[in-house]
Structures are given as structure tokens and as C-alpha cells.
Amino acid sequence: MSGIKIISTGRALPSKSVTNDDLAQIVDTSDEWIFTRTGIHSRYFCAEGESALTLAIKAADNALSASKITKDDIGCCIVATLSADYATPSLACLVQTELGLPEDIPVFDLNAACSGFIYAMETARSLLTCSGKKYGLVIGVEQLSKILDMNDRGTCVLFGDGAGAAVIECDDDLFYESVLGAKGGKEICCPGVNEGANGSKSYVSMDGKAVFRFATSAIPKCIEMLHEKVDFTLDDIDHVVCHQANSRIIDHVIKKLKADPAKFYKDMDHLGNTSAASIALALSEMDDDGLLQNGQKLLLVGFGSGLTWAGMLITYDKK
Ligand code: ACO
């Protein structure tokens, strides 16, 4: 089977950082309550003139510049998001035009919520394998601040905006495997444009305890499913990058797996939960901080609304 490797990353954050103390001015909450339950201290919200589109363009541009390949080499462009600027045109098509990507390639958005970036990476791999093209651009982006009910302290403190991107290269004989899954349910729900047609705005709602149970079982399940396909242990993996929903979810899993906490990257303290952007953002931060070295093996795990889950074993190999 052809696999993919990550050859560059990029990211973009809005200009406005919102601390827990800032939110405590709006709803009845505190830094202590939010941080002890989620590991989040602050997050970014889009300011005037910023949107999922502006973030996606910047993150993609950064990843492409770092890749040392030409735009003409890109064989597909996929954006994972649940908060695009428009139902149509897709963010991916608008990024394509802005960055001058080729026209004879598949370009589209994909919604698998917080598992979206991994879904998009595997979809890109499949498309590249079929087309025989070598490189793909995959972006995870969210502007969740526009679908947050700022009167609901149970949800508005959890999420943030941001974008991450990766350029991937398709090749044979790579350390690569993926598992994708889903089971329909409304544990995390945002009614979207249809129910908002009467003028009412639609917001994210969530059954927090049910999501906690789902998330803490989805991560070990993805690892187990990958293990059925590839002979590996966590000792073989340099970094585990889970969807950055909540620090307690990751801590719970580390304990359950008796794993080394140092392998599990966390950045929700300053980014919050950025859904489809979170794994891509984490990879880009790790890249810039020098944590990623060529040849390192990564385990990515996503879980989220849908409900969806996704696991991926992939190599980092900067051009
Ligand atoms: N500040 C202060 N008090 C709050 C806040 C807040 N921001 N939010 C809720 N509370 C109150 C509630 O009103 C409730 O008060 P009550 O006992 O007087 O009724 C009390 O705190 C406990 O509320 P719970 O909802 O039971 O809080 P819980 O301990 O379950 O923590 C949390 C909530 C952090 C969301 C937890 O359920 C959780 O971690 N869930 C995982 C879900 C998650 O992280 N989702 C992310 C998005 S989905 C995804 O990415 C996959």
C-alpha cells in the first residue's frame, strides 16, 4: 500500500487571545474551574477581518513555503472544517484560488469534526494513490467562536479558533497506517444553516460527560485497531498527538494505557479545543519548537462529533 509522510507544516492563529479571566467577565466561571477540568488557560477568537478562510490561507501558505515544492506539484487540496465561511464555495476552493494551486486536482472541504484532519489526510492519500500525483495539501481550520453561545458557560469556555496545515508526500514502503470510524449520535451537536433559517442562530451543544466517556474509550480503541494492522508498540512511537479537547481526557488515557506522559503532546492550555484544526496546529507548533526530527514516527488520534474517530501512524520527514 502507498503511504504518506509529512514533509512540512504551517499554522495561523487569530490576533485576539481570550483568557479564562476574560470569559469570567461574561459568564459565571473562573480560571480555576476551567483549568482544573480542561487544562485550558486561554484560546484565540477571530477578530474583525479574520475568519476560517483567512486562517486557512495563512496556514496553507506557511506549509507550502516550508515544503520546498512548487505549487504546481500539489495533487489535491482538502480542508477539514465544520465552521467554513460559506456552505459553498468551499474553503478549499477559495484557498486554491488565493494561493494559485493547480485547477486539474480535487479540491474540497470535509467535515468529520475533531477527527477531520486525519480523515482528510487519509482521503488525500487515497486520491494521490489513484491519480499517481505525489504531493497533497491538507488543512484543518475552525472558527468555532462564531457558533459558541457566549451565555452557556458549559461550552463557551472549551473552544477556540485556529488553523494548521501539512504538505504530505505519497510513497511506497513508508511507516504508515490509518483507521477511520463513526457511529451516528448527537452527543455534540450544532444544528447549522437549516435550523438557523428562521433567523435563530445555531450554537454548539454537548453532553460533556457522555463525550468524556466516548473520548477516553476512542483513543485506546484507535490504537488497538492500528495495532491489529501494524506490529508496533508505543515504545516505537516518538510522539503521540491526540485531538486537544481536554487535558483530563489525555491524562485518563495515559493512565489507562500505563503510557509515558512525555510522549503525549499537549497545547490546549493556550489554544483550547480547535476541533479539526487541533492536531494540525499541534504538529506545526512541535515542528517550530524543534520537537519533530526527520524520521520520527508519530501516532495521531482524533475523536469528536459525529461521533467520529480516527487513528494514524505516520512519519515526519521534512524536505
Ligand atoms: N464554570 C463554572 N461552573 C461550570 C462551568 C464553568 N465554565 N460549566 C459548568 N459548570 C457547572 C455546572 O453548571 C454544574 O453546576 P451544578 O453542579 O451546580 O449543576 C457543575 O459545574 C458541574 O457541571 P458538569 O457539566 O457536570 O461538569 P463536569 O465536571 O462534567 O465538567 C466538562 C464539564 C469539562 C465539559 C467535562 O464534562 C468534560 O471534560 N467533558 C469532555 C467533553 C469535552 O472536553 N468536550 C470537548 C468538545 S468535544 C470534542 O472535542 C470531542
- Exposure string over 139-153, b if 16+ CB within 10 A, otherwise e: bbbbbbbebbeeeeb
Ligand 1 centroid vs 214 CA: distance in angstroms?
15
Which residue, by CA, sits nearest to atom 33 of ligand 1? 208
* C-alpha triplet 299, 311, 294: angle, nearest 5°: 30
pLDDT at 196: 47
Q: Is 273 a catalytic residue?
A: yes
pLDDT at 199: 54
Mean pLDDT in order along the chain per 10 residues (319 residues):
93 98 96 97 97 98 96 97 94 98 98 97 97 96 93 94 98 93 88 55 84 94 95 94 96 96 97 98 97 96 95 93
The listed CATH number (3.40.50.12140, 3.40.50.2300, 3.40.50.1100, 3.40.47.10) that belongs to domain 1-319: 3.40.47.10
pLDDT at 197: 47
Provide the 3-class DSSP secondary structure of residue 160: coil
Question: Any alpha helices (H) in 132-169, and if so which ranges?
Answer: 153-156
Distance of CA 61 to the CA centre of its chain: 17
Residues 100, 126 contacting (CB under 8 angstroms): no
Residues with CB under 6 A from ligand 1: 29, 33-34, 37-38, 114, 153-154, 157-158, 188, 206, 208-209, 211-212, 215, 245-246, 248, 273, 303-304
Residues 107, 93 contacting (CB under 8 angstroms): yes
Pocket test for ligand 1, best of 114, 205, 207, 209 (most atoms within 8 A of CB): 209
pLDDT at 173: 84
Residue 112 C-alpha cell reads as: 468529520
Q: Is 252 a catalytic residue?
A: no
Residues 229, 177 contacting (CB under 8 angstroms): yes
pLDDT at 200: 58
**Could you say which of 76, 114, 156, 242 is catalytic?**
114
Which residue, by CA, sits nearest to atom 37 of ligand 1? 208
What ligand 1 atom has the least distance to the C-alpha of 38? Answer: 34
d(CA 140, CA 117): 5
d(CA 143, CA 166): 19
d(CA 39, CA 56): 26
d(CA 191, CA 169): 36
Q: Is 270 a catalytic residue?
A: no
Ligand 1 centroid vs 187 CA: distance in angstroms?
14
d(CA 300, CA 223): 9
